[in-house]
């Protein structure tokens, strides 16, 4: 996935005033007025502009407003100075340019208070060839005493009013990433999270703004914004009686006032901005390409097809069962087996969810020959082996808690509030000893069992009490932020020591789908709800910001364990194949025919994995539009190979479903159509036929309402996966 290494970031040329800064990507421009002694103002963000265009633009709006002067306006930053003053007045001091290790260009505009020795760097980072501009701030305290930050947004972005619509993702356990769309009206629209740990439950830290009315997938101007932070966040859009909506995004400051001693600084997490005039899908493609290349851990490495044991056996782990599951996934063509929860705990065995987190020693009652014997079995079966841990957590029933009750998050003078199983507690990642402990959990596992190929890193509790036993009394409000700083420090150490192990971020299902955590993780668990029909909706929303390579998507049992819906395995496979394909069931309980369908789906997925995992997404028909079907496709950047997915989302007699024009193909190329995962007794009329890209995009192909199968095999489900290969 290589892009031309042109650096489009630039300081503006001679025709423009020295104070005008132009941050450019191949398909967007951000223009700033950084006149020394004046406010830093944003003159333009959106379509690419020329020097001549810039020369004709008017003045902009303060883009990093601080609290204190005109305090009726929302601010990005609020400081209580060492002398108690709450007034901050920032003006441009200087501008600098640098390049980072990733080849990215950083423009830094340093703002200084007109009286107090406080400085704020406002940064803009661009990557060669990518349509993303990251922006964040860094606040430095050079005052004689400590200052307190009570708001510290990463950025604020003025967006011209018009018919602007907001799309965001909402939903908690088993209902993650539901798309919500609404026009922006007067007042404040707030999207936030205060869970402390699982920040993509209940809302997501990413939004899309469609500038031309109701959001459309492949047309219209869109600004996308994704906050790269795994903790509590706030995205706020303030619409007053001016011409602009003002978007603010950053760490949620509630109960998190942060004190900076003299000489200390505070860096906010980056906000990744993208602009596209190709609708929501265009903005998604920008996030995906940049994310795979610059954020996602090992974003250029194909992901393996796996079987996870959770919904197959839950806590009922034993050696023969694990061996059988490994044999089964190997038989079906899979490449990896993951033993989920239930394998550990010596003094307190992990028989259910109420014990042993923190005691990461194998339970030899269940696995008498230990992990090595499982690793040997995996080798024999020709698959890799993965394991589940939840290292940031413990239970009151655990050897870890017996030894180190001071490691957990709890309020002074109170018993800790417990979560899952009535006993779960969160470890205090702000504490360096806990950071060491969490590092050692992974390090010991990997050193003892270097053949472990994959770790599922779970996190199943929010921060349930405000209280750090490590932080001093005057630093208690640092808890949420220092928890995540500690976590990231630990993840950095883990990745330095173990760069090759694949790690999945799971948090009660899809609680950790965010760009703040993915630099250390290879993928995230999308949801504990594997129901294929609901997954179409969840994966649709997830794909707004995250690429398929990171979106774990499993074929699970029927009836489904969450919705109790019974969906034929063909449909389940067709949905799972649009993400990182896996299985999560007990293969022993499948019929021979179901196993065969999975075996063929895995074989087909291997042939198109590079398209799904590294291709460009074009979402075509949204399930949210209620048209009875949903459809999307992936295509290679060279436009020579594509996979088209079509799923019927409801069934009525004499249904008239729309024909779906495709997108993203080369209009002048010819593509041969091949159906994957075919179950029909006879091929589709267009099987093996050649069509021009233009025809496929202007007209599309008709999907039959049902499958042509033996009468007793008919169901109310229907789906198609087509491969389109350039002739
Ligand atoms: C919650 C996760 O979301 C599940 O997938 C599973 O790993 C369980 N935890 C195990 O306890």
Q: What is the pLDDT of residues 176-186, one digit of tens each?
A: 999 999 999 99
Pairing of strands 523-525, 502-505: parallel
Local structure of 721: helix, strand or coil: strand
| CA–CA distance, 307 with 575 (Å, rounded to integer) | 16
Pairing of strands 523-525, 551-556: parallel
Q: What pLDDT is stored for residue 516 in this prediction?
A: 98
Q: Other C-beta atoms within 10 Å of 6: how many?
A: 10
Residue 587 contacts residue 622 (beta carbons within 8 Å) = no
User: Closest by alpha carbon to 50, among 81, 73, 21, 29?
Assistant: 29
| CA–CA distance, 177 with 210 (Å, rounded to integer) | 18
CA 248 to chain centre: 20
User: Closest by alpha carbon to 661, among 621, 721, 622, 627?
Assistant: 621
528: annotated active-site residue: yes
Pairing of strands 258-260, 384-389: unpaired
Q: What pLDDT is stored for residue 2 in this prediction?
A: 29
Which residue's CA lies nearest to atom 1 of ligand 1? 508
Local structure of 375: helix, strand or coil: helix
Q: What is the pLDDT of residues 596-640, one digit of tens each?
A: 999 999 999 999 999 999 999 999 999 999 999 999 999 999 999
Q: Other C-beta atoms within 10 Å of 495: how many?
A: 18
Give the angle 47-49-51 at the CA atoms, nearest 5°.
170
pTM over 0.95: yes
CA of 509 to the centre of ligand 1 (A): 7
R_g of the chain, CA atoms, integer Å: 26
Instruction: Output the six-digit token pair for 152.
Output: 């510290």
Cis peptide before 272 (omega within 30 of 0): no
User: Closest by alpha carbon to 274, among 29, 4, 551?
Assistant: 29
Q: Other C-beta atoms within 10 Å of 318: how many?
A: 16
Q: Name the E strands within 161-214.
A: 165-170, 178-183, 187-193, 203-210
With the most atoms of ligand 1 within 8 angstroms of its CB, the residue from 460, 510, 557, 560 to mutate is 460
C-alpha distances out from residue 53 to 22, 47, 160, 297, 375, Å = 11, 11, 17, 39, 63
| CA–CA distance, 199 with 181 (Å, rounded to integer) | 20
Residue 262 contacts residue 143 (beta carbons within 8 Å) = yes
| CA–CA distance, 620 with 631 (Å, rounded to integer) | 5
Any residues with CB less than 8 A from the CB of 543 and at least 6 apart, and which? 284, 551, 617, 619, 632
Q: Name the E strands within 263-352.
A: 265-267, 271-276, 306-308, 336-339
Handedness of CA 407, 413, 416, 417 (dihedral sign): negative
Give alpha helix (H) positions in 301-403: 310-313, 319-332, 370-381, 399-403
DSSP string for residues in 218-260: SSB-EEEEEE--SS-EEEEEEE-SSSEEEEEEEE--TT--EEE
Q: Other C-beta atoms within 10 Å of 209: how many?
A: 23
- Residue 618 sits at φ, ψ, to 5 deg, of -130, 105
> Of the listed 353, 458, 522, 531, which one is catalytic?
458
- Residue 301 sits at φ, ψ, to 5 deg, of -110, 125
Which residue's CA lies nearest to atom 10 of ligand 1? 341
Task: Write down the residue that tokens 């009535």 correspond to.
Answer: 422
| CA–CA distance, 398 with 394 (Å, rounded to integer) | 7
- Residue 609 sits at φ, ψ, to 5 deg, of -55, -40
Any residues with CB less than 8 A from the CB of 678 and at least 6 apart, and which? none
The atom of ligand 1 lying closest to the CA of 388 is 7
Handedness of CA 502, 508, 514, 520 (dihedral sign): negative
Instruction: Output the six-digit token pair for 575.
Output: 């949905």
436: annotated active-site residue: no
The atom of ligand 1 lying closest to the CA of 460 is 1
- Which residues is 138 bridged to in the sheet? 121, 267
CA of 361 to the centre of ligand 1 (A): 19
Which residue's CA lies nearest to atom 8 of ligand 1? 341
DSSP string for residues in 209-220: EETBSS--SSSB
> Of the listed 33, 528, 531, 574, which one is catalytic?
528
The atom of ligand 1 lying closest to the CA of 507 is 3
Residue 193 contacts residue 199 (beta carbons within 8 Å) = yes
CA of 458 to the centre of ligand 1 (A): 7
Q: What pLDDT is stored for residue 633 in this prediction?
A: 98
CA of 207 to the centre of ligand 1 (A): 27
Q: What pLDDT is stored for residue 59 in this prediction?
A: 84
Residues with CB under 6 A from ligand 1: 310, 340-341, 353, 388, 458, 460, 506, 508-509, 525, 528
| CA–CA distance, 353 with 342 (Å, rounded to integer) | 8
Q: Other C-beta atoms within 10 Å of 142: how many?
A: 16
- Residue 695 sits at φ, ψ, to 5 deg, of -60, -45
Local structure of 649: helix, strand or coil: coil
Q: What pLDDT is stored for residue 706 in this prediction?
A: 96
The atom of ligand 1 lying closest to the CA of 314 is 10
Residue 633 contacts residue 297 (beta carbons within 8 Å) = no
Q: Whats the size of the chain, residue-wise?
A: 727
With the most atoms of ligand 1 within 8 angstroms of its CB, the residue from 528, 530, 585 to mutate is 528
CA of 514 to the centre of ligand 1 (A): 18
CA of 482 to the centre of ligand 1 (A): 25
Q: What pLDDT is stored for residue 18 in this prediction?
A: 55
**539 backbone φψ class: left, alpha, beta (φ>0; ψ -120 to 50):** alpha
Judged on CB neighbours under 10 Å (0-12, 13-18, 19+), 291 is: buried
Any residues with CB less than 8 A from the CB of 527 and at least 6 apart, and which? 174, 175, 176, 177, 509, 510, 535, 538
Report residues of the chain scoring pLDDT below 70.
Answer: 1-18
């Amino acid at each position: 996935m290589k892009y031309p290494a042109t650096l489009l970031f630039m300081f503006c040329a001679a025709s423009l005033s020295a104070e005008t800064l132009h941050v450019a990507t191949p398909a967007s421009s951000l223009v700033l007025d950084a006149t020394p002694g004046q406010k830093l103002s944003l003159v333009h963000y959106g379509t690419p502009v020329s020097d001549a265009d810039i020369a004709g633009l008017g003045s902009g709006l303060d883009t990093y407003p601080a609290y204190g002067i005109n305090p009726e306006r929302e601010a990005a930053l609020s400081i209580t100075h060492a002398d108690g003053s709450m007034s901050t007045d920032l003006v441009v001091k200087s501008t600098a340019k640098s390049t980072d290790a990733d080849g990215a260009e950083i423009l830094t505009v340093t703002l200084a208070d007109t009286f107090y020795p406080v400085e704020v760097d406002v940064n803009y980072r661009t990557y060669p060839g990518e349509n993303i501009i990251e922006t964040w701030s860094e606040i430095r305290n050079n005052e004689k005493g400590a200052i307190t930050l009570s708001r510290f947004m990463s950025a604020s972005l003025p967006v011209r009013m018009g018919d602007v619509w907001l799309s965001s993702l909402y939903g908690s356990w088993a209902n993650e990433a539901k798309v919500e769309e609404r026009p922006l009206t007067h007042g404040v629209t707030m999207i936030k999270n205060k869970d402390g740990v699982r920040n993509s439950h209940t809302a997501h830290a990413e939004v899309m703004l469609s500038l031309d009315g109701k959001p459309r997938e492949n047309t219209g101007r869109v600004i996308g914004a994704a906050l790269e932070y795994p903790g509590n966040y706030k995205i706020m859009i303030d619409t007053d009686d001016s011409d602009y909506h003002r978007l603010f995004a950053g760490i949620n400051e509630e109960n998190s006032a942060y004190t900076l001693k003299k000489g200390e600084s505070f860096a906010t997490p980056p906000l990744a901005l993208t602009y596209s005039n190709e609708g929501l899908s265009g903005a998604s493609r920008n996030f995906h390409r940049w994310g795979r290349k610059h954020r996602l851990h090992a974003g250029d490495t194909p992901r393996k097809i796996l079987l996870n044991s959770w919904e197959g056996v839950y806590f009922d782990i034993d050696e023969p069962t694990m061996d059988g599951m490994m044999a089964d996934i190997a038989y079906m063509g899979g490449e990896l087996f993951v033993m989920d929860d239930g394998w550990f705990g010596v003094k307190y065995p992990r028989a259910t969810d109420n014990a042993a987190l923190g005691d990461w020693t194998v339970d030899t009652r269940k696995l008498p020959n230990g992990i090595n014997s499982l690793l040997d079995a995996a080798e024999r079966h020709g698959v890799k082996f993965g394991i589940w841990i939840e290292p940031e957590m413990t239970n009151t029933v655990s050897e870890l808690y017996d030894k180190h009750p001071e490691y957990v998050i709890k309020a002074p003078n109170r018993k800790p509030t417990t979560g899952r199983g009535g006993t779960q507690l969160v470890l205090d990642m702000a504490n360096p000893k806990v950071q060491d402990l969490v590092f050692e959990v992974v390090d010991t596992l990997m050193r003892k069992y270097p053949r472990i190929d994959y770790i599922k890193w779970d996190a199943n509790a929010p921060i349930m009490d405000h209280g750090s036993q490590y932080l001093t009394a005057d630093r208690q409000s640092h808890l949420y932020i220092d928890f995540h700083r500690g976590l990231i420090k630990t993840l950095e150490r883990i990745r330095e020591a173990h760069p090759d192990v694949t790690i999945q971020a799971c948090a009660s299902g899809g609680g950790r789908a965010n760009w703040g955590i993915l630099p250390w993780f290879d993928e995230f668990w999308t949801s504990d709800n594997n129901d294929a029909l609901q997954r179409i909706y969840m994966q649709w929303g997830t794909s707004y910001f995250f690429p398929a390579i990171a979106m774990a998507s499993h074929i699970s049992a029927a009836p489904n364990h969450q919705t109790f819906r019974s969906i034929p395995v063909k449909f389940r496979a067709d949905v799972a194949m649009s993400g990182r394909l896996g299985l999560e069931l007990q293969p022993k309980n499948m019929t021979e025919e179901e196993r065969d369908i999975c075996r063929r789906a895995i074989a087909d997925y291997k042939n198109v994995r590079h398209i799904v995992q590294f291709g460009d997404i074009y979402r075509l028909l949204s399930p949210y539009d209620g048209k009875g079907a949903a459809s999307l496709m992936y295509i290679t950047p060279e436009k020579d190979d594509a996979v088209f997915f079509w799923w019927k989302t409801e069934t009525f007699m004499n249904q008239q479903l729309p024909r779906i024009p495709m997108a993203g193909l080369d209009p002048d190329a010819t593509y041969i159509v091949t159906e994957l995962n075919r179950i029909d007794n006879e091929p589709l009329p267009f099987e093996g036929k050649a069509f021009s890209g233009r025809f496929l995009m202007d007209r599309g192909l008709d999907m039959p309402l049902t499958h042509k199968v033996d009468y007793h095999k008919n169901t109310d489900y229907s789906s198609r996966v087509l491969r389109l290969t350039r002739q």
